[in-house]
Structure 1
Amino acid sequence: MSETSYDASCIQVLEGRAAVRKRPGMYVGSTGERGLHRMVYEVVGHALAEALAGHGDTIDVTITADGGVRVVDNGRGIPVEVEEPSGKPGIEAVLTELRACTIHSIGICVVNALSSRLEVEVRRDGFRWTQEYERAVPLAPPARHEETTETGTTITFWPDADIFETTEFSFAILSLRFRELASLNKGLALSLTDERDTTHTVRHSYEQGAQDFVSHLNSRNGEPIHPTVIAFVAEDEDITISVEIALQWDTSDSESIHSFANSIRTDEGGTHEVGFWTALPEAFNAYARQEQLLPEADDDLTRDAIGRGLTAVISVKLDDPCFEGATRTRLGSTATRTYVQKAVHEHLTAWLNRNPTEAAAIIRNATHTHTRTRTRTRTRTSDSDAP
């Protein structure tokens, strides 16, 4: 998804910081470890939005020796000119007001509101700019420094111990999430460095995208029923939506579905999952009837039968996602359901016809009668599930 411009006119003020500090759980999910790490994800999401818009391809995250987190990107840099109607410099407006912007989420302001201290550095318009905050209050106007040809934003924040139950970041949790993000965004290089105790760095970059994600997830499950990870990407420029899907079946009884909208985990599903699950039985039943892999007298394969042993990644990217709830765990964009359903049906049908041996193996698995009671579980993406 590309943007033609990104300047102060993109910014619309919604609320101040008081509501965030009063009810932090509404914005980051909790004041425990989950909410603490959500702070990092929000800042990384700000940088990732630049990459999705075609501006920047590198994000470097560091857990600093004194317990803060620094996120560096090579995007365009936050606008520095005065924006209307607040009359504030763009940096200050973005960091002190909840807002709806054409590119970025509200998260960067939320992070500032829930931090005891935050420092921002912007490389834009030929200069380096800096500003510091304490609990979202600017200590001084943005300061202009030396000239530079570089562009991008660096945000360093220290979570407020008066808000959070813990301020200790987990390298393992962050690394797993960043591997997940890298696999969902081909061409993105995302690194994590820990400067506490001894310095340690990991770097993530994946060329096969969601296909790599499914391969990793299935490496810990049963034996694959078919060797090829089914993967495809579809895009509609008219409605500015793209979908990337990867799926593979194995011999386990569990169903593992991982869905995302603009790389945000949609743990409660939404319209993209509805479209996926509408198309999957349709495509398999049509193929099974066509190839006479189901007796005429038998009923169609059910959704549960087809889901047995399935690991799937469903990733959609759209310009104006509609999420249900402030924590954005369920996608409500109505057009997404129709588009995903159409894309899955077309691409899966084509794959089944090209790969009859593997297709038959999947259908046999769905029709197989287990002698033991099947316990169907729905595995949502958690920190331990990332690639």
Structure 2
Amino acid sequence: MRRESTGAEVTRPRLPEGAELIRKRAGMFVGSTGERGLRHLVFGVVERAVNDALAGHGGGRVDVTLTADGGVRVTDDGPGIPVEAAGHTGGPGLEDLLTRLRPEVRTPRGRRTVAMSPMSSEPAVANALSSRLTVEVRREAGHWVQEYVRGIAVAPPAAAGATTQSGTTITFWPDAEIFETTHASCPDLENRFREVALLNRGLSLSLTDERDRGEARSVQFLFPDRARDLVAGLGLETGARLHPDVIAFEEEDARMAGTVEVSLRWSDTHEETVRGFANSLRTYEGGTHETGLRDGVTAAVDEYARKHQLLTATDPRPGFDLIGEGLTAVVSVKLDSPLFYGATRTRLGGDGDAVHPGVQDTGAVHACVRDAVRAHLGTWLEEHPEQAAAVIGRIVERTRRG
């Protein structure tokens, strides 16, 4: 931790409950005091904005700006954070959200929140670890503003007139006394924003960098053709395509209290690429949703090949090691209360894992994804016999070669 030497001890007022701990143990809350921790800090504020923007109408806009003076401004067009002073209800109030760490709260059924990073830091963490933070709320025709310094409110929220807009703007300046660098990397932010925009229908995410003395650079992520974009937009396509279509579907399943979305395509390469997400969080170590995808693809291909006598009763069932050659697939599940292995949330759990009270058994995810993939891929193969022949024929040939 870096501190300025002034030659005299500086006495600061006591921080609000929780903020003092956050400043002393910053790495525990954002992973590190280096660039990785700074990135988690940004993601924590953007996560709240994305979920507000998506609330209620399945779309929305979030604009993130890296300002010339080292700040990060995050603006959304959601309903606006409730302001206690204005008598707003309907969720955590502004000052509570920015000054208190809240115990983990299970989301209401049907409200599947987007997770931006494994650390899942809250706005209160960004407030405590910033030298300054300002917030503007536009809600119920009123405009409210408030300012904080190192987690301490300078004054109560103040009314700033009427407005016809809704949403929240949080601008914060990461504290140089805490972080080794306060310069966030644009490419790292862009990659994550692209993923989140791809995985959430109707969401528009933009990133503007004003830190260069020249012209500001801005990029916007909005993907109307999500089925095709899920494969192409994530940079997964390799080799020549064996068929022109992206096989894609989205399905709700009450058994897992969530939705599954899959996009896949085969190419003429020997590589298999399967990328999984749970509530928009990349599951680098896989989990029940990815296993369900593989099992569903294997079942659909085997059933089609035997029904059309491309495989006989004596032919062995092709394994996914053969079926997956050349396959590029994205599987995204959105669950009310997902269960992950460990604090890093890089593997989706289930299938006999211990289930905490109030958390659904994500073992159901395996069966739901498997059944959905088996049905939808099986239908696609039946409806596209020429394209199916190109895919299945190569698999059958490899199966018989052993």
Q: TM-score interval w.r.t. the shorter chain? A: 0.7 to 0.9
1:76 alignment partner, one of 73, 76, 79: 79
Q: Distance in 2 between matches of 1:143 and 1:327?
A: 39
1:18/1:212 Cα in 2 relative to 1: closer, same or farther (>3 Å)? same
In 2 relative to 1, CA 36–361 (structure 1 residues): closer, same or farther, beyond 3 Å?
A: farther
Shift of 1:63: 0.8
Among residues 275, 280, 296, which one is paired with 2:297 in the alignment? 280
Distance 1:68 1:257, change over 3 A: farther
1:359 to 358, 376, 388: 388
- 1:168 is displaced (CA, Å) by 1.4
Answering whether residue 352 of structure 2 is matched by residue 335 of structure 1, we say: no
Q: CA deviation at 1:208?
A: 1.6
What letter matches 2:328 in structure 1? T
Question: Which stretch of structure 1 is more off in the superposition, 160-169 or 204-213?
Answer: 160-169
Q: How does 1:1-387 map to 2 (within 5 A)?
A: 16-55=18-57, 57-81=60-84, 90-99=93-102, 100-101=104-105, 102=107, 106-197=121-212, 198-217=215-234, 221-236=238-253, 240-332=257-349, 333-367=362-396, 369=398
The letter of the residue matching 2:138 is R
The number of residue pairs the alignment matches comes to 352
Q: Any idea what SS the aligned residue of 1:62 has?
A: strand
The one-letter code of the counterpart of 2:184 is F
Classify the secondary structure of the residue corresponding to 2:84. coil
Partner of 2:356: none
Matched AA of 1:311: T
RMSD in angstroms over aligned alpha carbons? Answer: 2.8
Match of 2:116 in 1: none
1:369 deviates by: 4.8
Closer, same or farther: CA 122–213 of 1 in aligned 2, 3 Å: same
Q: Structure 1 residue 18: deviation in Å?
A: 4.8
CA–CA distance in structure 2, aligned partners of residues 231 and 122 of structure 1: 39
Query: How far has the Cα of 1:146 moved from its partner?
Result: 0.8
What is the CA deviation profile of residues 121-158 of structure 1, one whole-angstrom value per residue up to 9, with x for unaligned ones? 11113211122223323222222221222211111122
Q: 1:238 offset after TM fit, Å?
A: 8.0
Letter paired with 2:41: M
What is the identity percentage for the equivalent residue pairs of Structure 1 and Structure 2?
53
- Are the aligned partners of 2:310 and 2:396 in contact in 1 as well (CA < 8 Å)? no
Aligned residue identity for 2:391? I
Q: Is 1:218–1:224's contact at 8 Å kept on the other side of the alignment?
A: no
Q: CA deviation at 1:190?
A: 1.6
- Change in Cα spacing, 1:227 to 1:73, as seen in structure 2 (3 Å) is same
- Find the counterpart in structure 2 of residue 12 from structure 1: none
SS in 1 for 2:249: strand
Structure 2 vs 1, CA of residues 369 and 271 (structure 1 numbering), >3 Å: closer, same or farther? closer
State the Cα distance separating 1:26 from its structure 2 match.
4.5
* Cα pair distance change 1:133/1:336, threshold 3 Å: farther
Q: Distance in 2 between matches of 1:368 and 1:131?
A: 67
- Measured against aligned partners, the alpha-carbon deviations of 1:239-287 in whole angstroms (never above 9, x if no partner) come to 6412211011222332222222222222222332232222221222122
Residues 273, 37 of structure 1: CA spacing in aligned structure 2 closer, same or farther, 3 A cutoff?
same
**Any conservation in 2 of the 1:190–1:205 contact (CA below 8 Å)?**
yes
1:77, CA displacement in angstroms? 1.0
Counterpart Cα distance in 2 of 1:50 and 1:276: 30
Give the TM-score, by structure 1 length: 0.81
Residue 219 and residue 260 in structure 1: after superposition, are their counterparts in 2 closer, same or farther (change >3 A)? closer
Deviation at 1:61, TM superposition (A): 1.0
Q: Which one is further off, 24-33 or 59-68?
A: 24-33
